[in-house]
Amino acid sequence: MDRIWTKHYPDGIPAEVNIDEHASLKEIFEKTCARHGERTAFSNMGARMSFGQLDEATRNFAAYLQQELGLTKGDRLAIMMPNLLQYPVVMFGALRAGLTVVNCNPLYTARELEHQLKDSGASAIVVLENFATTLQEVLPRTPVKTVITTQVGDLLPGLKGLITNLVVKHVKKMVPAWQIDGAVPLPAALAAGRRHALAPVALSHDDVAFLQYTGGTTGVAKGAVLTHRNMVANLQQASAWVAINMIEGSEVMVIPLPLYHILSLTVSLIFFKLGSHIVLITNPRDLPAMIKELGKVQFTAILGVNTLFHALLNAPGFAEVAGRSLKLAFAGGMAVQQTVAKKWEALTGAPLIEGYGLTETSPVVTGNPLDIKQWTGTIGLPVPSTDLAILDDTGNEMPVGEVGELCVRGPQVMRGYWNRPQETEQAFINGWFRTGDMGFMDERGYFKITDRKKDMILVSGFNVYPNEIEDIVMMHAGVMEVAAIGAPDERSGEVVKIVVVPKDPGLTEEALIAHCREHLTGYKVPKLVQFRTEPLPKTNIGKVLRRMLREPSASARPGNK
């Protein structure tokens, strides 16, 4: 196919990248640590860990996994914790031992955790003890043989770590009672590993780096098999994309989204490869604490989703730390609303760089060029070595400007779903991975998402895309949050319904509908408006869960009127 988008790449970005430059993430890790030694690799809660210290800690953990637990290449290790210094230690340690990492959301219910541990066949798990009670409930029904526990302050220095653990457990009472016989504290595992040699492990592109679970909000979660080839390719692609603005060994990247999510995971790996200082935010919902952390560093880049950027813009104190040294703000996970993008640019002087990806694509597929002067309203151009097409339901390519399903080919596309051959086959059409997202390509090769297939609203035969409605509603000064969903209607099949969290308590349904009529054609104007006082339901990275708002019980929840 004709990659017309490469003609619009900024100078210096290649059409193809060399994915054979590195055999594995393990190789990238070891080379990066050797190159950057004493520089800060990660920081969290005011504590810093250099590349050299990380190299030593991961070596010890890898040796423990090999020599004490007897785990071998290809065995699965689950990780269940928020963003702490322990996360990169455990993750890179597992990769150095040749294991496959299974990232688990620490807020999983017992049912969800049991499914993922059984489905992945995880032999061991590292869990923050705050969530050990959930693991305790399901452990006998899983293949997990070894449980390694950690406390929030375990890798904080000296007295600070001890005090943090005491406060978390006994003052804030954030650790429910748990009892898992034979559980090994992470500090003890690291100490034991220090006594052993690390056996060399040869890894290639074909070995599996991550089982990354997806689809839990719409059905049974499936494990996307992400090989070292997939991950190395995406790091090469994304590194080439950011190289024109980022200086190796000089950047400070803020990661407030959880590392167990593929977007945050890969972005952190991209900046790790660049020798950057990565600031891990444990709880981005605590905006005052996050802003305090931001005030301590001259951060040059930040990752977020629309809801986080919106919250920061409305948070006291953020204006004082924003834009001091910021070069780039990366937005993913959900569509960026125009009002948020404009306010962000005005406050920080840096545009929101919106991109697109999926768990199944490691995840980066497209990105806006880093030299844009303002938000484009698109997901940008496909990154190097990537083909992206708009196909109809039978696999035929749609003309420029026509809406169809975005389909991807490239070295970052997963091998398939773990132990699910039928679902793997259904995910592809003529060699293209079917994203399930609807969109179109313009004449320059820029792509725009209109919506998920399942979220599309059909009004009298016309397609209505919730993102468009939400973008218009958010332009009203009295709106804090909004979600657009379809509601059944006898005459038109469906009508547009908006669920609104108002910023202005005096906001009325009539005012909102009048506002929408100014900007939307008749069939797109909301016919139903529901106000609620509590925030909209979201995933852990901030995506609004429209599905929950469509459930019959949603209208009966407290705060609705």
Pinpoint the residues of the chain covered by CATH 3.40.50.980: 25-203
Give pLDDT tens digits along the chain (561 positions): 789 999 999 999 999 999 999 999 999 999 999 999 999 999 999 999 999 999 999 999 999 999 999 999 999 999 999 999 999 999 999 999 999 999 999 988 888 899 999 999 999 999 999 999 999 999 999 999 999 999 999 999 999 999 999 999 999 999 999 999 999 999 999 999 999 999 999 999 999 999 999 864 345 789 999 999 999 999 999 999 998 889 999 999 999 999 999 999 999 999 999 999 999 999 999 999 999 999 999 999 999 988 899 999 999 999 999 988 999 999 987 778 889 999 999 999 998 999 999 999 999 999 999 999 888 999 999 999 999 999 998 999 999 999 999 999 999 999 999 999 999 999 999 999 999 999 999 999 999 998 777 787 888 767 788 988 999 999 999 999 999 999 998 777 889 999 999 999 999 999 999 999 998 888 899 999 999 999 999 987 888 989 889 875 444 333 333
1-22+227-453, CATH topology level: Rossmann fold (3.40.50)
Judge contact between 117 and 143, C-beta under 8 A. Answer: yes
Cα distance from N-terminal residue to C-terminal residue, the chain: 52
Q: Write out the H or E segment, with its range, that includes residue 55.
A: helix 51-63
Strand partners, 28: none
Its sign, for the CA torsion 436, 439, 441, 445, is negative
What integer pLDDT is reported at residue 464 of this predicted model? 83
Architecture of the domain made up of 25-203: 3-Layer(aba) Sandwich (3.40)
pLDDT on residue 215? 63
pLDDT of residue 554: 47
Residues of the chain with CATH 3.40.50.12780: 1-22+227-453
Q: What's the Cα-to-Cα distance from 498 to each of 214, 478, 502, 512, rounded to whole Å?
A: 27, 14, 12, 10
Could you give the CA distance from residue 366 to residue 388 in angstroms, rounded to a whole number? 9
Separation of alpha carbons 447 and 380, rounded Å: 6
3-state secondary structure of 469: helix
For 262: left if phi > 0, alpha if psi spans -120 to 50, otherwise beta; the answer is alpha
Strand partners, 224: 212, 417
Residues 6+ apart with CB under 8 A from 166: none
Q: How many of the other CB atoms lie within 10 Å of CB of 324?
A: 14
DSSP H or E stretch at residue 364? strand 364-367
Contact 456, 464 (CB under 8 A): yes
User: Running DSSP on this structure, what letter comes out for residue 560?
Assistant: B
CATH 3.30.300.30 intervals, the chain:
456-556
Residue-level pLDDT at 65? 98
pLDDT at 455: 83
Q: Which amino acid is at 300?
A: T
Distance CA 129, CA 176 (A): 8
- Pair 214, 359: CB distance under 8 Å: yes
Query: Taking the model in full, what pTM does it have?
Result: 0.87
Please report where in the chains the tokens 């393990």 appear, as a residue: 26
**Residue whose structure tokens are 């080839």:** 229
Q: Quick one: pLDDT at residue 95?
A: 98
What is the C-alpha separation between 4 and 418, in angstroms, rounded? 34
**Tokens 């005491």 label which residue?**
166
Superfamily of domain 456-556: ANL, C-terminal domain (3.30.300.30)
